[in-house]
Amino acid sequence: MAKTVTLDASGIYYRQLNEQIREAVAAGATNIVLKNVNGQRYIAGAMTGNVTFEVQGVPGQDMCSFMRGPKVRVKANAQDGVGNTMDDGTIIIEGLAGDVVGYAMRGGKIFIKGDVGYRVGIHMKAYMEKLPTIVIGGKAGDFLGEYMAGGILLLLGMYSDKPSEPIAGRSLGTGMHGGVIYVRGEVPKEQIGPGLTAQPVDAADKAAIAGIVKEYAKELQLDAKEILAADFVKIKPFSHRPYGNLYVPA
């Protein structure tokens, strides 16, 4: 049986709020509802275990940084640094999200309904059973997946507030040396980082995309069929060490 604790974050400084959350979890709460959140930093930061959060209001910087396990749903927009270096768990954002979502993420899932800012998913990495995944329902700014070393980025471009902009900003995947970026539809060639190309997806890719989309659509109450009713392309690293010869020519 889930034990729910509701906390009113209105006017509470981030340290006190995070202390209250930790006390509640230590006392056995498994479902935390945070009301009137506005700008408090580090919510669910470094938390572990099977706990669920519902965040009502706009959380502050670095939400869920270093998180290992919990499931966090944000009923509004999120700011910068969501899921910074997170290790495990799930983040669902029902609005848009700011810059550097999933920076150096090592595991878990981040599902965003709308647009995201710049440098999302930079330096994500994967190891053995750890496969970090970010799904962006809207469009992304520059440097999406820059220096990516592992994991999956899925960019849909569907639920965007920016009809005139390209689906991804400049320097998409620049310097990536692991992982994969899937894009629904097409990406303008000039937006893709040096040496990379958008390639058609194969059967294994399609199965992977379908699995992720199914879960994403369920969490955000979207139509998975509609999302999948289009072609996808993939961007993969052209080399394990794209800059191996940058300073010391081979």
Partner 1 sequence: MKAPERYYDFQKDISGCGVFGVIHKQRGLIPGDMPIRAMACMHDRGNGLGGGFAAYGIYPELADKYAFHLMCDTQAALDSAEQVIKHYFTVHEYHPIPTRKVVTIKNPPIVTRYFLSIKKDRPEEVRELGEQDYVVGAVMHINHKVPGAFVFSSGKNMGAFKGVGFPEDIADFFRLEEYSAYIWTGHNRFPTNTPGWWGGAHPFTLLDWSIVHNGEISSYGINRRYLCEHNYLCTLMTDTEVVAYELDLLIRKHGLSKEMACKVFAPPFWDEIARMPKQEREAYTALRMVYGQALLNGPFAILVADSTGLFGLNDRIKLRPLVVAEKDDMVFMSSEESSIREVQAELDRVWMPKAGEPVIVHLEA
Question: Which residues of the shown chain bind partner 1 in the complex (CB under 8 A)?
Answer: 14, 38-39, 41, 57-61, 77, 79-80, 96, 98-99, 115, 117-118, 141-143, 161-162, 165, 169-170, 190
Q: Which is nearer to partner 1, 123 or 234 (CB)?
A: 123
Residue 141 or 237: which CB sits closer to partner 1? 141
We find the least distance from the C-beta atom of residue 161 to partner 1, in angstroms, to be 6
Q: Which is nearer to partner 1, 98 or 175 (CB)?
A: 98
Min dist CB 127 to partner 1, Å, is 27
- Rounded to 10 degrees, what is the CA torsion of 76, 82, 88, 92? 20
Return the percent helix, strand and coil in the chain, to nearest 5: 15, 30, 55
The distance of closest approach from Cβ of residue 117 to partner 1 in the complex, given in angstroms and rounded to an integer, is: 5
* Nearer residue to partner 1 within complex by CB, 31 or 38: 38
CB of 19 to partner 1, least distance (A): 16
Distance CA 177, CA 53 (A): 34
CA-CA distance, 121 to 83, in Å (whole number)?
A: 10
Q: Nearest 5°: phi and psi at 62?
A: 55, 40
DSSP category for residue 193: P
